[in-house]
Amino acid sequence: MSLQKALEAFTYKPDVKTLAKNAFCSWVRAYTAHRGELKRNFMVKKLHLGHVAKSFALKDQPSLVGNLFHNQEKKRMRGEKQKGLSRKRKVLRKT
């Protein structure tokens, strides 16, 4: 069994798969956060996200992983707003 297949089998576990998806999403966000002169060298549009996902031992398509993360973020933000913890209120409370 190749190393890649062994890693993919390991990430088949739900808890490990969640960690791998979160790591992938964090890596993509960090990759897009380059500023200034580096921004033109680090363009996500030129990056093959399928290969990046494969390096995280993910079989899912990156768009599905990104959508999952985006939906979780929206749900979290909605929950904060319902609790009255919107961003504006947080800033006002700190000052």
Q: What is the pLDDT of residue 15?
A: 92
Q: Does 84 have pLDDT greater than 70?
A: no
Average pLDDT of the residues in 58-67: 70
Q: Pick 28 or 88 by higher pLDDT.
A: 28
More confident residue, 88 or 67: 67
Our count of domains for the chain comes to: 1
For helices 14-32 and 62-82, the axis angle rounded to 10 degrees is: 90
Cβ–Cβ < 8 Å for 58, 65: yes
Q: Record the tokens describing residue 35, joined without a space.
A: 């500023």
Mean pLDDT, residues 67-80 taken together: 74
pLDDT at res. 63: 67
Give pLDDT tens digits for 3-57. Answer: 888 888 888 888 998 898 888 888 888 887 877 777 778 777 778 888 888 989 9
Residue 34 structural domain: 3-94
95 has a pLDDT exceeding 60: no
